[in-house]
Amino acid sequence: MTSVPFDQRDGQIWINGDFVPWKEAKIHVLTHGLHYASAVFEGERAYGGEIFKLREHTERLVESGRLLGFQIPYSAEAIDAACVELLARQGFSDAYVRPIAWRGSESLGVSAQQNRINLAIAIWQWPSYFDPEQRMKGIRLDMAEYRRPDPRTAPSKAKATGLYMICTISKHAAEAKGYADALMLDWRGHVAEATGANVFFVKDGVIHTPNADCFLNGITRRTVIDLARRRGYEVRERTILPEELSGFSECFLTGTAAEVTPVSEIGEYRFTPGDISRQLVSDYADAVQPRRAAAE
C-alpha cells in the first residue's frame, strides 16, 4: 500500500496558536530553520488517548530551544494543552505526536537573532518504527560510518534537527545493505546509540548501556532503566567498547518510535532476544498503555 505523502494528509496541524488545515500548514523556502538547522523537535506517542510523559517531552523541547539560543514563546502548559486538544481534534487514540520549533524567515544569514520563533504540532498514526513481523525476532544493525560528535563541538543535549543529518545518512546506508538501522560510535570510538534510539546489552543477567554523555538521555531510555530496576535487574550505565559486543547475549533498542525493540545482529556480532528483552518489551507496553490494558 502506498503511503500518503506527509504534505497531503487530512486533518489539522497546530501552528503558532492556531489550528489550520493539514495541507495549509506551510513555511517559506527561505526559512532559517531549513537553511541553518535552527530547529528543535520532539517525538511523543499517545496510547489510549493519553500522550505518554507529555510534560517531560515538552520540558525537553523548551530546553532544546534554549540550548540553540532561542526561547519558545509558549509556556509548557500551553504546549501541553495544544497537544492534548490536537489529539482530540485528530480523533486518534494511539498516535505519534511531533512538536517542532524553528527560527523563521524574517532574515536569512548565520545571524538571525530577531527572527520569529515558530512552533507547530502535528499528530498522525504511526504503528511500529520497525517491521512488526521482524521486531520480536530481533532487527539487524550495521555499523555506522559517522560518529556522535564531541559535546564541545555541538549541542548534544538538544534534540536538534541538525544533529540528525548523520543519522539519516547512516540509516540510509544501512538500509541499502539490507539492515534495519545502524549502531553509531561516539567521537572517542565508544558505543553510543542507534540512529534514532538508545541501545542496551545483556550479559550474565546484568543490563549494560552507554553513558549518555554525548547523546540524548532518552525519555524512553530512562523509563526502561526504571522498569528494569523495579524488576530487580542490575543496570550499569558505563563506557562500552566495540570489542565488548561479542560478550553480550542480548541487545535491544529504546525510543519513543522504537519503543523496546530486540536486536539480533550488529555487523559481525550476534544476539538472541531472550527473557530480559521480552520482559522489558512487555513491561514497557504495560507502562504506556494502562488505559488499553484496563479496557481489555
- Active site amino acids: 159
Rounded-to-integer distance, Cα 113 and Cα 133, Å: 48
CB 123 within 8 A of CB 91: no
What grid cell was written down for 190? 565508544
Rounded-to-integer distance, Cα 8 and Cα 6, Å: 5
Measuring CA to CA, how many Å separate 136 from each of 47, 133, 231, 249, 257? 20, 7, 20, 15, 15
- The SS3 assignment for 205 reads coil
Measuring CA to CA, how many Å separate 110 from each of 30, 34, 82, 151, 292? 13, 12, 31, 21, 48
130: CB partners within 8 A, 6+ apart: 139, 180, 181, 258, 261
- What single-letter DSSP state applies at residue 1? -
* Longest Cα–Cα distance in the chain: 57
CA triple 92-93-95, angle to 5 deg: 70
**CA torsion through residues 122, 124, 128, 129, sign:** negative
Beta strand pairing status for 44-47 and 181-185? unpaired
What grid cell was written down for 202? 545483556
What grid cell was written down for 241? 567498547
